[in-house]
Amino acid sequence: MAILDLRQLKIGDSVTNKAVYFSSYELAVWQKPKGEKQTYVKGFVTYKGREIAFSIWSATLVEIFKNNDLVGHILNISGEIKEFKKQPQLSITGFGDPEVTHTTDEFIEKLNVDLLFSEFADFIKTNFTESMKKVANIIFFKDKAIIDRFKVEFAGEKMHDAKVGGVLNHSLKGLRLTKTLIENDSRLEQYKCILYLGWLFHDIGKIFEMHDGHYTENSFVSHRITGIELLVQNKIELLTVLSEREYYILISILEGHHGEYESKAKTIWAYIIHLVDMLESQTTGIMDKLHTGNITLKDNGNTTVYVNGENLVV
Ligand SMILES: [Fe+2]
């Protein structure tokens, strides 16, 4: 039984008995012109980082999706690839053979987390001072449960590094950017400790906000806050290495690292980390979209990729 490869779909393709992984969905209501209402399912299926929308209109299938939580499940389906807003959309019309099963691993993109983690640990070993290493140890390395989660969690459901090891990859790439920034302007050297540590911890809260690439039921509280919670839990130990002011600057970085998109940065260090975060996540997001074929072909022959509200020509 084949998996439906979402990276190679053409409008008009019919799909027979192909496995898909449901990453999210919801029930929606369509109001017909005559006033009648019809409930349908709309959501997304994912394969190796490529995500496309799906819809289900069959009342029997809608009932099944309504009565079961199928997010994170794999089902064999039949249907057709239709066009919706210039993008392929999977219209599911039936189920396929229930006997043939696949594992989540076949659908999810995985980074080499052991290799990434050794690069991450090496970076800290080479670039951090002894007191910075102590702080990294208090939050990360002394707690195997934290490290194990940090190694494998996604950076997000879809924006950038939405894959196993994504948050680790994002953190490692941002450490390198932070190093470049510090080396680029010697006036930043004095802030090296706070910038490195701030970056190191800026997304640590994602290990509580997400699980296996999906937002948890308590994710209405942002990883900015759950990360702060982790620092607060370790406050007494952190204050054996950091001054109180440094501790609160780190808190300000976790709180403000999304800048104008959420709680605005209140310190220059939070703002700089926000800029590093934007540069790293947006650039990675573009490359992830190109890599997975998440692009739009325009009538004039151009290919575009959707970035931060704009369709940018590739
Ligand atoms: Fe973040």
Q: Is 301 exposed, middle or buried (0-12, 13-18, 19+ CB in 10 A)?
A: exposed
Distance 130 CA to ligand 1 centre (A): 26
In tens, the pLDDT along 155-182 reads 987 778 888 999 999 999 999 999 999 9
Strand ranges across the sheet with 310-313:
296-297, 303-307, 310-313
Q: Please provide the DSSP assignment of 238-292 as one string.
A: HTTTS-HHHHHHHHHHHHHTTGGGSSPP-SHHHHHHHHHHHHHHHHHHHHHHHHH
DSSP state, 8? G
pLDDT surpassing 90 at residue 26: yes
Please, what is the average pLDDT of the chain?
92
Tell me, yes or no, if the pTM score tops 0.85: no
Binned at pLDDT 50, 70 and 90, residue 257 comes out as very high
Distance 116 CA to ligand 1 centre (A): 19
Distance 223 CA to ligand 1 centre (A): 7
Distance 125 CA to ligand 1 centre (A): 24
Distance 151 CA to ligand 1 centre (A): 16
Ion ligand 1, residue ranges at CB < 5 A: 203
Q: What is the set of domains in the chain, with CATH numbers?
A: 6-106 (2.40.50.140), 113-290 (1.10.3210)
- Judged by average pLDDT, the poorest of 55-59, 83-87, 254-258, 303-307 is 83-87
Distance 261 CA to ligand 1 centre (A): 11
Question: Looking at residues 225-245, what average pLDDT do you find?
Answer: 98
Distance 29 CA to ligand 1 centre (A): 33
CA 50 to chain centre: 13
Tell me the two tokens of residue 160. Answer: 């950038």
Question: Looking at residues 267-288, what average pLDDT do you find?
Answer: 95
Distance 135 CA to ligand 1 centre (A): 20
Question: What per-residue confidence (pLDDT) applies to 8?
Answer: 80
Q: Looking at the DSSP assignment, which residues form a beta bridge with residue 92?
A: 56, 79
- Judged by average pLDDT, the poorest of 107-111, 119-123, 192-196, 240-244 is 107-111
Distance 147 CA to ligand 1 centre (A): 18
Question: What per-residue confidence (pLDDT) applies to 272?
Answer: 98
Distance 21 CA to ligand 1 centre (A): 26
Distance 225 CA to ligand 1 centre (A): 10
- Judged by average pLDDT, the poorest of 138-142, 188-192, 213-217 is 213-217
Distance 201 CA to ligand 1 centre (A): 10
The CA distance from 25 to 28, in Å, is 9
| Helix H or strand E segment including 297 | strand 296-297
Question: Looking at residues 86-98, what average pLDDT do you find?
Answer: 88
Question: What per-residue confidence (pLDDT) applies to 301?
Answer: 87
Distance 284 CA to ligand 1 centre (A): 14
pLDDT surpassing 70 at residue 1: no
In tens, the pLDDT along 94-131 reads 998 777 788 888 888 899 999 999 999 999 999 999 99
Question: Looking at residues 233-254, what average pLDDT do you find?
Answer: 98
Distance 171 CA to ligand 1 centre (A): 10
Distance 63 CA to ligand 1 centre (A): 36
Distance 38 CA to ligand 1 centre (A): 38
Distance 4 CA to ligand 1 centre (A): 32
Binned at pLDDT 50, 70 and 90, residue 33 comes out as confident
For residue 212, give the nearest of 90, 307, 103, 122 by alpha carbon: 103
Question: Looking at residues 151-157, what average pLDDT do you find?
Answer: 89
Distance 213 CA to ligand 1 centre (A): 14
Q: Is 40 exposed, middle or buried (0-12, 13-18, 19+ CB in 10 A)?
A: middle
In tens, the pLDDT along 42-54 reads 999 989 878 899 9
